[in-house]
Chains A and B, each alone.
Chain A
Amino acid sequence: QKEVEQDPGPLSVPEGAIVSLNCTYSNSAFQYFMWYRQYSRKGPELLMYTYSSGNKEDGRFTAQVDKSSKYISLFIRDSQPSDSATYLCAMSETSYDKVIFGPGTSLSVIP
């Protein structure tokens, strides 16, 4: 079993839709959870960073962590064509530990 599982997609939605991206993980020691966005041929860009369980909102993006279910989500409201990218969930045990990535979900927002 992989440490971090993520539906690779591709996911295609119309502009303005709410997008839900999800990851599950197996290591209960993970405490730090991140979402990265990666455009084609570019490096990953940190979008959201959360510690332990709970919700965090930043503009159109909301990250949710449910440690009891080992499940994290990223919601994108009012999706835009510029949101078209691969979204990577990532997590680590401590704030100084190596980061473990999911395989990424490819998202296309159609105008």
Chain B
Amino acid sequence: EAGVTQFPSHSVIEKGQTVTLRCDPISGHDNLYWYRRVMGKEIKFLLHFVKESKQDESGMPNNRFLAERTGGTYSTLKVQPAELEDSGVYFCASSLWSSGNTIYFGEGSWLTVV
């Protein structure tokens, strides 16, 4: 069974540009989460989808970040415009509805804003 897959694995963009990260959760997982780790900090929650609905977006840092989950399948996280402090690794995770916070992480999308 395929795990959580994320694309791109690495991205280097200039300040002010736009980047879109994609996540494909494990098949059948209704819960989809985005987390990120910026340099020197702990992994922090960004938001939680249940199917296509945003269950909790309390961790989104500002309105430059937009997450969508089309049809309750894959999800995208867009950063527009990117700032230097957005550099870090963005993790996607998913879980079964019945398993709650037994979540499985992808390998992350490493973003560098220069």
Contacts and interface: CB of A to CB of B under 8 A. Distances in A.
B12 interface: no
Contact of A92 (B35, B41, B93, B101): B101
Contacts, number: 53
Contacts of A101: 35, 42-44
Given A98-B56, A98-B59, A44 B102 contact: no
Interface of B: 4, 31, 33, 35, 41-45, 48, 56, 58-59, 91, 93, 100-108
Interface size class of A (residues with CB under 8 A): 20 to 34
A46 B44 contact: no
B100 A96 contact: yes
B45 A46 contact: no
A99 B107 CA distance: 17
A58 interface: no
Interface in A21-52: 32, 34, 36, 41-46, 49
A-B pairs, top 9 by smallest CB distance, nearest first, are A95-B100, A43-B105, A98-B45, A101-B43, A103-B42, A96-B100, A43-B107, A44-B105, A101-B42
Of the listed residues B43, B56, B102, the one surrounded by the most CB atoms of chain A closer than 10 A to its CB is B43
Interface string A81-111: 0000000100010111111111110000000
